[in-house]
A and B are shown apart, each in its own frame.
Chain A
Amino acid sequence: MNTKPFQKIYTKLEGVTKATVTIKAENIMNDELAMVGDRLAQVVKINGDQVVLQIFAGTEGINTATEVTFLGESPTLNVSDDLSGRFFNAYGQPIDGGPKVDGEKREIGGPSVNPFRRQQPSQFIPTGVAGIDLNNALVSGQKIPFFADPDQPYNEVMAMVALRAKVDRIILGGMGMSNDDYLYFKKTFESAGALDRIICFMNTTEQPPVERLLIPDMALAAAEYFAVDKNESVLVLLTDMTLYADALSIVSNRMDQIPSKDSMPGSLYSDLAKIYEKAVQLPDGGSITILSVTTLSGGDITHAIPDNTGYITEGQLFLRADSDTGKVIIDPFRSLSRLKQLVIGKQTREDHPQVMNACVRLYADAANAKTKLENGFDLSDYDNRTLAFAKDYAEDLLAIDVNIDTTEMLDTAWRLFARYFSKEEVSIKQEFVDTYWK
């Protein structure tokens, strides 16, 4: 970011906090960028001639005589096809040793799509993972997070799903990612030969936390270029949104805002919605699908971050370690895809919705049986059968290492029904039972 010659340079800071500086300046625009020394900053508050700047890299070592110049614009990204295959930092500068990207300069965090111009998401995105395709089918234009504890392999699952999904472009926004995970993503994409359709914006744990706030907007500005201008189907991966929200709370804290639940800013819902609602099915065929990660602490989804996320996104995929099979499964109870009704039974086989529900109901019966067992009661014959079913169901369908197509998933489910239950116990619409009972 080079300063332009005619710009006024300010040299007297009035105040410095851990994340912001205050300066007297005139004719400043709200949200405008500025350079404080060599650090990028953004206007967050103006009161008369008092301007408060949030410094992304933190204020460590900032001297009150540091030079401040205003850039006259809000954060931008240069967009063009040359973004493909490149790795950038939070400011959109290359970190892969390649040249600067030329292209049209676009403001990030721009306006929202007119809801009336949106199309209804309608394209099924198969992933081969039955826990997703069978129970929680993904649809293009959807936004859905993985809810996972920090020790679960969410980044691996996400990388796998991204590579299997049939999309034109994958954009990865990494927030507070460990350097090891960053290298893992890079290597996985490389070895899959998918680098030419990947774009990556990365903030690792080695970099200042407040910089993360730019990552989703950067990634989505690039996504909008490919989806709107090029009519491509774009998959955006955002990991980890919990760390993004933590950065929000740091800034709001420094600005003396009254915190609401779990010391998060009162605007958390709107802040997250602005990002997630960029997911869209466009009228001309392009789409942006967002797959994100929200890490939980001890599976607690009532915490403000997963809670607000759940109200914004179209469902969630819940990862859980299954003790029966020793595998990581996609929890059928707590996972949900709100858009699945648009495609299941329509782009997949007709019995899909009912089979899905019957499986989950029987799995719930197994959970009850397990509680009985733990409380030391005798199990009925039915209980024992549900338990056996649950084990096979987890192993053959819920585990994240399953990779089959949906018809095969449905056939597997019917096979399990027939193995353990009578037709009455499964209780599915008669015409499907007549056709598919194995």
Chain B
Amino acid sequence: MNTTGKVTSIISNLVAVQVDGSVAQNEICMIECEGTKLMAEVIKIVGNKAYTQVFESTRGMKIGSHVEFQGHMLELTLGPGLLSRNFDGLQNDLEKMDGVFLKRGEYTQPLDTEKKWYFRPTAKEGDIVEAASWLGEVKEGWLPHRIMVPFKCKGNYTLKWLAKEGEYTINEHIATIADSDGNEEKLTMTQKWPVKIAVTAYDNKPRPFKIMETGVRAIDTFNPIAEGGTGFIPGPFGAGKTVLQHGISKQAEADVIIIAACGERANEVVEIFTEFPHLEDPRSGRKLMERTTIICNTSNMPVAAREASVYTGMTIAEYYRSMGLKVLLLADSTSRWAQALREMSNRLEELPGADAFPMDLPAIISNYYARAGFVYLNNGQTGSITFLGTVSPAGGNLKEPVTEATKKTARCFYALAQSRADSKRYPAIDPVDSYSKYLEYPEIVEYLDNKIEKGWVGKVYKGKTIVQRGKEVNDQINILGDDGVPVEFHDRFWKSELIDFVILQQDAFDKIDANCPLERQKFMYNKILDICDMTFDFKNFEECATFYKRIINICKQMNYSEYQSAMYDRYVRELAEIIEERRTN
């Protein structure tokens, strides 16, 4: 018999329940309200009173309403068919819901229970298996979706029976395992897992040692993110966070993409819904949507479910990582999640931390980021979750609690600068403030030596120094005036502008420039660094500016042209001619 209870107080979506039995922290319960049942989660227990946060509007709820506890935490159904679905934060399939408006208390099956999947066994009866061991696979799109021993299994089991190759629905009996005491358990293709608990059914988590290509020059060339790495993008509104994230999701070198739209604009999610089914995946030739799952809790959807949505995204990512896949998880924006935590903490009348956020915010954020990573699975295969979160700092001020807490835990920092956005220098990733800790990893340096060319990281630092010095020189020019500094100062400034305009800036809306493969990045970057090494003959600063503007113009035309096309080669020659006009070394 499950515990039941009665509602005793209601403040917005914080509802207190008098219970008649035992309840667990984070247990799910259903509260009756105007003829429907609303899902809620226990967030505090005092005596026989459980405080719950309701995932939906509590309008019309009455004191004394009946509450039923479910005996489990918020958990997801994991199995074939998660990809190309659009879920809300509680894993309801938005596509299956009727009507234009969301109805309160409507919950749907997350997975299709009718669909037959072609199952191919990969394990043998008699094998010793453990949590996350692969038993067989079905094809989901073109990806091998491994059917695994449920994550919740502890210790070793013997595989007693495994279904033959053939078509099965997700709820059909597919395998039987027995523990050391001989207790048998029947398995299907699905399993359940509580979202707030990390899946740890893998062998070990090494330091990341590869980079993940994103097609964005300011990231790949200047501040690469590692496969299995973590990064975050803080920036004021209008600085291009969303455009950047969408670009990365389209281009990144990942098998599975999970987008958690957390408390953001509905129209942005609609953009993904509309675009992704048409976008072709450059590497497989299939549609991008086939390997994408969207978790969508837009800003007008219930606040409490927003908190759940980021965990839902992470849990699905962990599920696919256990299959040996490369997963890219994007969360936009983690600030909204933190605000949801703040709203609840406020209603619970907890003593507030900085800016009224809960005291344990930094701990919650770092625990969450720690779930990403590159792993060696128990069977020797590898899988990874690369995580990129955006942060929306209040007033664009990076000294606020969410940004500071995230900075302590994420390894890449892509600071979007208002000043760059104002002058339409997109992506507005600040080249001086941003960093990638991975450039300091010897594993990564070695990897880039082999992947791109020997000494690549040295070249990256060289470019960064040029940009940094250009910025300093620019400050001096602004103080002393164009004529107040030697022409060399202008030359130095324009060399940094060259890197800025040609490498760092990228037109996300141009068909060709939007996605720049690594090989092309290498060619262009070397070209630009070569120019930076040259000395030119200028009589005055105006000659210098005009000259570099011509170079920038040609290089931009190159960025807009098909790589190594006739047009592209023509611009390469034209560039060489311009350079020769004034070159002195």
Contact = CB atoms under 8 A, between A and B. Distances in A.
B300 interface: yes
A277 interface: yes
B343 interface: yes
B43 to A, nearest CB: 16
Contacts of B398: none
Contacts of B274: 119-120
A270 B343 contact: yes
A115 B270 contact: yes
A307 B60 contact: no
Nearest to B301: A112
Interface string A160-171: 000000000000
B356 A266 contact: yes
Query: Could you say which of A269, A279, A301, A304 has the most chain B C-beta atoms within 10 Å of its C-beta?
Result: A269
Contacts of A111: 57, 101-104
A110 B395 CA distance: 30
Interface string A330-356: 000110101101000000000001000
Given A116-B86, A116-B94, A377-B481, A30 B100 contact: no
B509 A353 contact: yes
A312 interface: yes
A304 B394 contact: yes
Nearest to A430: B557
A315 B422 contact: no
A259 B357 CA distance: 11
B549 interface: yes
B553 A424 contact: yes
B462 interface: no
A31 B424 contact: no
B267 A142 contact: yes
A51 to B, nearest CB: 9
Interface stretch (B5-13, B110-118, B137-145): B5-13
Contacts of A29: 34, 59-62
Interface in B46-92: 57-64, 86
Contacts of A259: 356
A336 to B, nearest CB: 5
B299 A277 contact: yes
A112 B95 contact: no
B299 A120 contact: no
Contact of B63 (A48, A381, A430): A48
B550 interface: yes
B482 A377 contact: yes
A427 interface: yes
B270 A119 contact: yes
Q: Which of A116, A267, A378 has the most CB of B within 10 A?
A: A116
Nearest to A112: B300
A277 B265 contact: yes
A120 B392 CA distance: 24
Nearest to B479: A375
B481 A382 contact: no
A112 B478 contact: no
With most chain B CB atoms within 10 A of its CB, the pick from A111, A112, A257, A376 is A111
A228 B424 CA distance: 38
A115 B273 contact: yes
A372 interface: yes
B339 interface: yes
Given A274-B300, A307-B395, A382 B542 contact: yes
User: Which of A47, A258, A266, A336 counts the most chain B CB atoms within 10 A?
Assistant: A266
A113 B422 contact: no
B266 interface: yes
Contact of B423 (A311, A361, A381): A361
A437 to B, nearest CB: 14
Nearest to B54: A30
B60 A49 contact: no
A339 B509 CA distance: 13
B102 A424 contact: no
B541 interface: yes
B581 interface: no
Contact of A375 (B10, B101, B270, B481): B481
Interface string A107-140: 0001111111111110000000000000000000
Interface string A260-291: 11000011011001101111101100000000
A326 to B, nearest CB: 23
Given A314-B267, A377-B481, A266 B343 contact: yes
Interface in B230-254: 236-238, 242
Contact of B238 (A118, A120, A315): A315
A141 B423 CA distance: 27
Contacts of A260: 342, 355-356
Given A30-B60, A121-B267, A269-B339, A46 B237 contact: no
A118 B298 CA distance: 12
Contacts of A102: none
B30 to A, nearest CB: 17
A103 B252 CA distance: 53
Contacts of B182: none
Contact of A49 (B63, B298, B479): B63
A283 B100 CA distance: 8
B299 A380 contact: no
Given A30-B60, A120-B271, A277 B300 contact: yes
A110 B57 CA distance: 10
Contact of B267 (A118, A270, A316, A336): A118
A355 B383 CA distance: 45
Contact of A31 (B60, B236, B423): B60
B122 to A, nearest CB: 35
Contacts of B355: 260-261
A314 B269 CA distance: 13
B336 A115 contact: no
A303 interface: yes
A32 interface: yes
B156 interface: no
Nearest to B344: A266
12 contacts: A28-B62, A45-B10, A266-B339, A270-B263, A273-B299, A304-B394, A315-B238, A334-B422, A338-B238, A371-B478, A377-B481, A380-B482
Given A269-B299, A377-B481, 12 more contacts: A44-B11, A44-B12, A114-B94, A114-B99, A115-B298, A258-B352, A266-B342, A277-B300, A279-B267, A302-B394, A302-B397, A372-B481
List 9 A-B pairs, minimum CB-CB distance, nearest first: A302-B395, A277-B300, A273-B299, A377-B481, A310-B237, A116-B94, A260-B356, A47-B9, A31-B59
